[in-house]
C-alpha cells in the first residue's frame, strides 16, 4: 500500500513534519510512505489569471500525479490563527482545478495536527474535517496532538503518551482498513 503524507506547513522543519514521521514509523511495513512538503513545492498562489494564461503549474500537476498514485492520503498541518495554513489552502485550491487532482479527494484521508500548545491545532482540524466532504474525501479520522515537546520524542520519532499512541494507531489502522477495502472493490 502506498500512502502520500502531505506536510501542509510553510516551514521545512515543522513539528507537523515530525508528526508525519511518527505516523510513517508507526505504519512500519504496512505501507510505503511518500512524503511531500508543501513548503518546498514552489507553487504560485492560486489565481484564475495564472490558470487562464498557463494552466496549472508543473509542481501542482506533479503533486496531483503523486496523489493519484497513492492509495491513501495523510495531511499533517499546523494551525494559523485557528485556520489551516495558507500553504495547504493554496495546494487544495490548485488541486481542485486540475485532473487528476480532483480524484485525490476520493481517497481515504487522515488529518493530523500538532503544536507546542495544548490545543494541538484541533480548531483547524475541525475546519478541514468539515470541508473534506466538499472535496469528496473519504475522511477516516483526525488526530490532534497537543503539547508537542512533551508528547513527542523528536529524536526517536515516537509519541510518549500511551493515549496519543492509541489514538494515532487507531486512525492509521482505520486508514489501512479503508484503503484495503477500496482496493478490493
Dump pLDDT digits (tens) for 158-168. Answer: 999 999 999 99
pLDDT at 97: 87
| Bridge partners, residue 54, by sequence | none
Region 35-43 average pLDDT? 96
pLDDT grade for 16, boundaries at 50, 70 and 90 = very high
In whole angstroms, give the CA distance from residue 139 to residue 161. 25
Higher pLDDT, 135 or 60: 60
pLDDT above 70 (res 108): yes
Angle between helices 58-69 and 86-95 (to 10 degrees): 80
| pLDDT exceeds cutoff 80 at 69 | yes
pTM for the predicted model, two decimal places: 0.95
pLDDT of residue 87: 96
List the grid coordinates of 47. Answer: 489565481
**Per-residue pLDDT at 104:** 61
Whether CATH 3.90.420.10 fits 2-184: no
Helices (H) and strands (E) in the chain, counts: 7, 9
The pLDDT score that the predictor gives to residue 19 is 98
79 touches 115 (CB < 8 A) = yes
Q: What's the pLDDT at 149? A: 97
Residue 101 has pLDDT above 60, yes or no: no
Specify whether the CB–CB gap between 158 and 127 falls below 8 A.
no
Confidence of residue 103 (pLDDT cuts 50, 70, 90): low
Percent of the chain residues past pLDDT 70, beyond the cut: 97
User: How confident is the model over 126-155, as pLDDT tens digits?
Assistant: 999 998 888 778 999 999 999 999 999 999
- Predicted confidence at residue 105, as pLDDT, reads 61
* Average pLDDT value for residue range 75-101: 90
pLDDT at 137: 82
Amino acid at each position: 500500500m502506498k500512502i502520500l503524507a502531505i506536510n501542509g506547513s510553510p516551514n521545512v522543519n515543522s513539528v507537523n513534519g515530525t508528526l508525519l514521521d511518527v505516523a510513517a514509523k508507526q505504519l512500519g511495513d504496512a505501507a510505503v510512505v511518500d512524503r511531500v512538503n508543501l513548503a518546498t513545492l514552489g507553487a504560485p498562489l492560486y489565481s484564475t489569471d495564472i490558470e487562464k494564461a498557463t494552466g496549472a503549474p508543473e509542481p501542482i500537476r506533479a503533486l496531483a500525479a503523486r496523489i493519484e498514485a497513492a492509495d491513501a492520503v495523510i495531511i499533517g498541518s499546523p494551525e494559523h490563527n485557528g485556520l489551516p495554513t495558507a500553504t495547504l489552502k493554496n495546494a487544495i485550491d490548485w488541486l481542485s482545478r486540475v485532473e487528476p487532482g480532483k480524484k485525490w479527494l476520493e481517497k481515504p484521508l487522515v488529518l493530523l495536527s500538532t503544536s507546542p500548545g495544548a490545543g494541538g491545532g484541533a480548531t483547524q482540524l475541525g475546519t478541514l474535517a468539515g470541508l473534506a466532504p466538499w472535496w469528496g474525501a473519504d475522511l477516516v479520522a483526525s488526530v490532534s496532538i497537543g503539547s508537542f515537546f512533551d508528547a513527542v520524542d523528536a529524536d526517536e520519532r515516537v509519541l510518549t503518551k500511551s493515549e496519543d499512541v492509541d489514538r494515532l494507531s487507531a486512525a492509521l489502522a482505520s486508514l489501512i482498513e479503508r484503503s484495503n477495502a477500496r482496493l478490493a472493490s
